[in-house]
Structures are given as C-alpha cells and as structure tokens.
Chain A
Amino acid sequence: MSFRGRLIFLVTGLVTVAVIITAGVLGWNTRQAMLEEAREEGVLLAHVLSRTAALARSVPDEVETVIGQQMIAQALLTAHFVDAAEQAGFSREDIVERLKMLVKDSTLDEFWVTDSNGRVYLTNLGVEFTFSPDVKLQPQASAFWPLLIGKKKTVIQKARKREIDDRHFKYTGVGGVDKPRIVQVGYDAQLLKELSDKIGLKRMVSELLSGRDINAIWVLDKSSKTIAHASVFGSDINPKPSAGELGAIGEILKTGETISFLSEDSLTIVAPVSDEDGQFVGGTVVRLPTNDLQKVLQTQVTVALVVASIVIAVGFAMSNLLARHITNPINRITQAASDIEDHTFAAASLDSVALRSDELGGLARTFRTMAHEVQTREEYLDTQVAKRTAQLEEKNQELEIARKRIDDELEIAQAMQQAILPATFPDHAHYSGFATMIPAREMGGDFYDFFPLGDDRFGVVIADVSGKGVPAAFFMGVARTTLRAVALRGLPPGECLEEANTKLCSTNPMELFVTVFYGILDSASSEFRYASGGHNPPLLIKSDGEVEFLPGTSGLALGIMEDMPYKDKTLKFGNGDTLFLYTDGITEVFDPEEVEFGETRLTACLKDTQLMSPQAQAVKILDTIEKFAAGAPQADDITCLVLRYGETGQEDTTHTPTKASSQHLEITLKNDLAEIAGLAEHIESFSEAHGLDGGVVFNFNLALEELITNTVSYGYDDDKVHMIKVTIALDGSQMRAEIEDDGHPFNPLEDAPEPDLDADIEDRLIGGLGTHLVKTFMDDVTYTRNNGHNRIVLTKTLLLAAPKEKDQ
C-alpha cells in the first residue's frame, strides 16, 4: 500500500470511527433522555392516579352520608306526619295521597310504612310487603327489623342493588312515633352511582388513556386486584400485569419508590398509590409505547448515517488532497533521484517543492544541493576516468607495441636459430640424410649441424643446451659456432670436443652446458668415427631393419669443466645402414597420462624402416610422437638427424620422388608454399616425358596448387614440419592426381564457399575461387578421410583437344 493510500485510509478510518462513536453516544443520550422523560411522565401519571383514586373513593361516600342524614330527617317527618294524620283521623288513602305528593315534590322516591307487625300498609308503590327479621329471606330489608322491635331508632343503609329489581337504591328508616313500626324511605341512588362514575378512578383512567400516548394503565390494590384498567389495544398486546410487574408492585409497596423498566415494545412504570394519610394502598402500572422512542432513535441513526457519509466523503476528499499534497513532492524528489542516475536532472524541476515551508521543502532544498554536488563530482570523475582511460590506452598501446616488438624479435631470433641450421644435405653418391628441429614455444637450445670435410668425409652434429629461453639460445649459437670452427679444421671427434669444451668453458658466464654428439663419416672407407659429450647415443637402423644403440663413449657435457678427455669410437657402416641422431625432446614426450614416449617406443618405431627415405623415417617418428602426445603441449625442442650410408643415385633431398616410373610420379612435399614451384617442375617434366598437352599440365598444376595451398595455409595449427604426398598417374586416356595430408579434416568440395561469379568488382570476394577452379578444370574430384589423413583424388580424361574443352 502506498503512503498516499495509507494516509487516505487512516484519515477516512478515523473520521468514520469518530462519526460512529458520536452518533452512538448522541443516540444513547437521546434515548436515555427520552426514557427519563417517559419515566417522569409515568411517575406523574401514577401520582395523579393515586390522588384520583383517593378522591374517587371519598367524595361519593361523603355525599351519600349527607343524603342519608337528610333521608333520616325525611323519614322522621314522615313518621310524625303519619302519627299526626292517623290521630286526626285521616283515611289511609288520604295519608298515602299526601305522602305521594311529598314524594313527588322531593328527592325521595319511595316510602314504606308498616304496622306493628311489620306489614306495609302505607306505600306509594301499591305493593304488598312485610318485613322479616330473616336475613336470608330479606338480605336488604331485614336490616330494618330492629326499628320495629325498638332496638334501633334509625337505620341508614348504603346504596345497593335491591333484590327485587336490581335497581341501585339507598334506604333509610326510623321507628314509629306512636307505636312500633318501620318508617322507611327509599332514594333512587342512580345519581350517587353516576357521581361516583363521574369523579371515579375508572373515568380518570379512561380519560388519561384517551388523552395521551399511553398503551395501558392498570390500577391495582394491595392484593393485586385490579381497581381500574384501560388499554388501547386488546389484551393480546396489553396483557394483564405480568408476574414481573406484580412483583414490582410488591416491591414499591415496601419502598414507595417508582420503578420503571423497558420491555420489548413498551416502557413500564410502576408507581405506588397512597391514601390521604400517605399509606400505600396499591399501585399503578403504566405502559408507555416505545415506538416513538424507536422512531426517534431511528431518525437519529438515519441522520447520523447521512452525516457520517457526508463527513466520510469530505474526509476522503480532504485526505486525498492532503495525501497528494504530501506525496507529490515526494514523487518529484524520487523522480529527481532517478534523473540523477540517468544524468537528466535539472535543478529547476524541484523549484516548486523547494518553495514549500514544511519538512518536504527542506528535503527538496537539501536534495537539490546534494544533487548539484553529486553532478559536479560525477562530471569531475568522468573527466578523470576519461583522462585515465586515455592514459591507460596510451600505455596499453605502448605496451602492445613493446610486446609486439619483443614477440617479433623473439620470432626473428627463433627464425634465425632455425636459419643458421643447414637445410639441405649435400648431394652425394654414398650418403644422404635429413635433419629437422622443431622448437618448443619458448626458445630452446637444441641444434644439429652437418658439413663436408673434404670430398669423402662428412661431419654430423646433434646437441642439446641445458636450460631454456634466450640464455640457452645464445649459448646454442656460441656452442654451434665454436664446435663448427673447431670441427672444420678436420680434427677427430674426440679432440674436437675436447678443444670446443675448453673454449666454451672460458666463455660461459651463465654456467650453462651442452650435450654434444659428433661423428665423421668417411664415405670412402664407410667408417664412422664419433665421440659424445654427455649426449644420448644415436640409434643404428641396419639394412636388415634391426635397430640398436651405438656404443657410448663416456664423455662429460661441454661447458662444465675444462680439459676433459673425450674418447673416439669407430663404427663400420654397412650399405643401407642408417644412423638416427636425436635429442631427448623425442624420448621425453609425454602423453596426457604422463607416460614417457621413451627409447623402447622409439626403437620399435624405427624397426624395419630401412627402406624408407631418411626424411620419411624422420616424419614417421615426428608423426608417432605427435599422436602419442595427443595434444599435450610440446615441452622441449624436438630435433633429429638421419644419416643414411649407401648408393643414393643423387636424390634431391627436398622433393623425394621415391618412385618415378614411366606412368607414375610420387612426390613428398613439406607444408611450405615454396614447395609448389618445385612440384610444378616435376609435373612438367613428367608431362613432357609423356607428351601431355600443355593445357592439361596447366590445369593439374593449378588444381594441385589450389588444394595444397589450402592445406598448407589452413590445415595445421602447429609450427611443425608436415608431409604432403602427391601422386600423379597416367592410366590410358585418364590422368589422375592424389593428394594426401595429415592436416585437419577439410573437404574443400563441401566446406569451401561458392563464389558469386556475377558480382561487381567492389563486391567480388576471392574466397572459394580456388575450389571452383579445381572443380571446373577437373572431370572428377573426390574427398575421403582415413586414418587421420585427408585424401583428394583428381581425375581428368585426356582428349586430343583436351585443353580447349571447357573454353567456351
């Protein structure tokens, strides 16, 4: 959640909580206030009711008492009138008539006058009735019997329903004036009842209920008997006072305090009712509806919700604005930081933020200052880096130049080391030979040498200087020159080594030494005289193919100690015997498993090679040790010299046609482009001998050159001498050429690109043209790879007009 989101969430949340709490508190307070109001109203009501109840009880009683006393007076008057009238001799009818008039004009309604036996003989109702003392027979009238027997003078009876017609009547009576009798007057007490009703509790309750918003009122006496009750709804909704309410009445009768409680849909107030003396005589239960309360609460909640919504909306908007106000500058500063990284920062982009007076403004100002410093520092560093880079580049170039110069010089030195060694054995009728030195990466100190000493004698040297590098190379030069200078004076090998040793010892500041084998072949006598200065003995390959070591001549390596003796030994060469001189660079080749090539393998490899040319023998050994090393780097110089004694027919040692029969020419070339001209000569003389067309010769020369150039240029990645065998053969009307080499697998028919013969001068590429020429000029070209050798066979049919066949 982003800062802005959090801020909005926080503010809106706080506002919401505040509104909800406020609305809740307000609602609660309102509810409590309303409840309190209702309770007070209920209490007031209960008090009014209690007062009313007392009043309604006392007023009709007092009125009845007054009426009762009046009726006694009227009954007495009636008694006196009857006495007086009877004594005056009024007739019974006359008396009744007079009394009826009295009733008619007064409040009295009835009069009953009995004789001494209780039989009514004067009445305005014309009904026969006799009083009896029997309460059961006459529950109302029997109360007047004591008047007849003189026990009471007056009887005032409370207004009540009479047995005969259920009418509400009040009766009072007095005894007779003249004789025992009952004089009773009756008063229709309906008025009293109406009075009671008019001022009574029930009416009060009804009026209270109709005039107010009250569900029900109950007035109960001490024994929970209902005195008055009124309700708006049926008893289902306003049932009789519940056990709880009745219990509350019991409670308030003891304490006199009002209790109120809220039930599901109404507020019930229970208050005591007291009489005039303050005695609690009952209680009122008033149920007030709470729907108003609910309505008010609902309104409150609705209002609160509306207000809350508005406040929240406003709060959201405000907090959004506030958040924007805060986050916008932060975003600007963040953008500015990223701009600094991209080097696109402009100080003006923070101006509006920096003008603020709050913390963000402060941050922006600090940031701007800091950014400026960073930019300045970065620019300074950039220029420094550029300067240093340029300096470094300059130094690198100088170093590169220096390195290249050293490399070049080392290369030249190495080339010179090679160049000072004689390349070609002299053509001689009785001996031939081949020598090669393959230097290791580092400059080394191997060398070989050969030189004629007069017509018949021929000296051969092989040597190995201790150590490596430039000192060894120098010492090699010195050793070779010294040895050659001494040897050319014709001294025997032993003496020669002795003298050379003494000279080398005096000019050897680096304490180096050199092992030397030196021998002189006398071709006239076939004797080979030799001496060795600590060098490993050469191998002799006899004409029957057997190989043996030359007997050693115990001599110390040259350059160690002056005046050492070196003994000679002499060997008698047989015709076809070959001497193989070598340095330990050959025997000490290691394969990847660290196994040494050794003398045993070397001996085995040379066995039965007596018919091979000296060069082929050397190449065989070089090939074998290369395969043995299986890619392991060459640690030491590899040097060998092969000397063959016997009739040679004065072979050319560079190109060695081993077989030049009339139909067949075999040539072995070194991997050197300089060999190509010689090859061409051979082919030309072969062609001349067979009267071949110049065009065919041209084509074959061209095809062979193209393929051999490929092999020489790209076929090898070492500096070693490799042999390429070329065979030319004539077979009827077909001429055939074969090239065999031990270079990398390369099929020129597939691997060379096809040239675009139609491109303009600017776009013409030279690649692939050679192969194209070969394919065009030859009838058939095949490539095979066998035993680590590439073999290409070229064939072309010879026609009378052969050279022109493709010239369209």
Chain B
Amino acid sequence: MNLQTEQSGNTTIACPAGRLDSNNAKEFEASLLGLIADGEGNVLLDFSKLDYISSAGLRVVLMAAKRAKIAKRKLALCMLSDNITEVFTVSGFTKILDIHNNRETALAAF
C-alpha cells in the first residue's frame, strides 16, 4: 500500500489510503513502524483516505501506539470515516488512542 507522509512543524503526518487488510497489513506495518523508529516529534495518522480497516490493520495501529510510547513520541489519529470509527469503538481503541475529527484539532492537541 502506498503510505504518503508529510511534515507539519514538529509533526509527521502519515496518510494511508485505500484498504488496510490482512493482505497489506505487513507492508503498512513496516512503513509505519520504520517511520516511528527513525524520526522524531509527533506522529499523526490521517485516515481521511482510508476506506477500510480490519483487525490486521488495527494490530498495526496498536503496535505503532506502543512503539511511539516507548520512543516517547506522541501519536494521534484523525479524520476516521464512520465505518472505521465504528470498528475503533467496537475494538475499544477509542479509549486508548488519541482520536480527532480533523488535522487542526489534532495538531493543536499535541
């Protein structure tokens, strides 16, 4: 999958697009964990272009959150679609992750 990133001040914004399923989760995992391991500052996952996520994708998000915590980097998510929000809610992820409606509030909250 294609993981586009952009820098906004101290924050690296990653924008996964399309589907995040068991077939491409490994690829996404490598990209995202690499990004967390190598860089500095905050990480924001912008899900505005993400259409679909399954537990394989959730696993990568959880791992990213754990790695960020170990690396003392803040990680937040924003722009989750309704369907994806529902998946996060059902999984209990909304309780443990920092989730925002849009980039601005997310960036302001860091």
Contact = CB atoms under 8 A, between A and B. Distances in A.
Interface of A: 673-674, 676-677, 680, 694-695, 698-699, 701-702, 705-706, 709, 712-713, 755, 757-762, 764, 766, 769-770, 772-773, 776-777, 803-804, 806-808
B52 A706 contact: no
Contacts of A761: 62, 65-66, 69, 96-97
Nearest to A769: B55
Given A673-B22, A674-B23, A706 B55 contact: yes
Interface of B: 19, 21-23, 52, 54-56, 58-59, 62, 65-66, 69, 82-83, 85-87, 89-92, 95-97
In the complex, the 9 A-B pairs of residues with the closest C-beta atoms, listed nearest first: A757-B92, A770-B55, A709-B22, A766-B59, A698-B83, A673-B23, A769-B55, A776-B90, A705-B54
Contacts of A807: 82, 85-86, 89
Contact of A680 (B52, B89, B90, B97): B52
12 contacts: A676-B21, A677-B19, A701-B52, A702-B54, A705-B56, A713-B22, A757-B95, A769-B58, A773-B87, A803-B86, A806-B90, A807-B86
A466 B65 CA distance: 54
B62 A764 contact: yes
B86 A762 contact: no
A695 B23 contact: no
Nearest to A675: B23
A766 B52 contact: no
A77 B19 CA distance: 192
Contact of B91 (A673, A712, A757): A757
Contacts of B59: 766, 769
A435 B89 CA distance: 44
A602 B3 CA distance: 50
A773 B22 contact: no
A688 B7 CA distance: 38
A677 B21 contact: yes
Contacts of A701: 52
B62 A705 contact: no
Contacts of A803: 82-83, 86
A709 B22 CA distance: 7
Nearest to B26: A673
A772 B21 contact: no
Contact of A698 (B52, B62, B69, B91): B52
Contacts of A806: 86, 90
Contacts of B62: 761, 764, 766
B96 A760 contact: yes
A interface, over-half SS? helix
B interface, over-half SS? helix
A803 B82 CA distance: 9
Nearest to B18: A677
Contacts of B23: 673-674, 676-677
A718 B96 CA distance: 39
Contact of B83 (A695, A755, A757, A760): A695
Contacts of B56: 705, 709, 770
A761 B87 CA distance: 17
Contacts of B83: 694-695, 698-699, 803
Nearest to B65: A761
Contacts of B92: 755, 757-758
A758 B19 contact: no
Nearest to A708: B22
Nearest to B22: A709
Contact of A770 (B54, B69, B95, B96): B54
Given A762-B66, A803-B82, A807-B89, 14 more contacts: A674-B23, A680-B19, A680-B21, A701-B52, A706-B54, A709-B21, A757-B95, A758-B92, A761-B66, A761-B96, A761-B97, A764-B96, A773-B55, A806-B86
A701 B91 CA distance: 17
B21 A769 contact: no
Nearest to A702: B54
B51 to A, nearest CB: 8
B96 A772 contact: no
B58 A766 contact: yes
Nearest to A766: B59
A677 B90 CA distance: 23
B71 to A, nearest CB: 13
Contacts of B95: 757-758
Contacts of A760: 96
A772 B90 contact: yes
A762 B54 contact: no
Contacts of B21: 673, 676-677, 680, 705, 709
B54 A709 contact: yes
Contacts of B65: 761
Nearest to A756: B92
A313 to B, nearest CB: 80
B82 A702 contact: no
Contact of A769 (B66, B86, B91, B97): B91
Nearest to A776: B90
A773 B66 contact: no
A670 B89 CA distance: 32
A741 to B, nearest CB: 15
A713 B62 CA distance: 20
A671 to B, nearest CB: 12
Contact of B52 (A702, A770, A776): A702
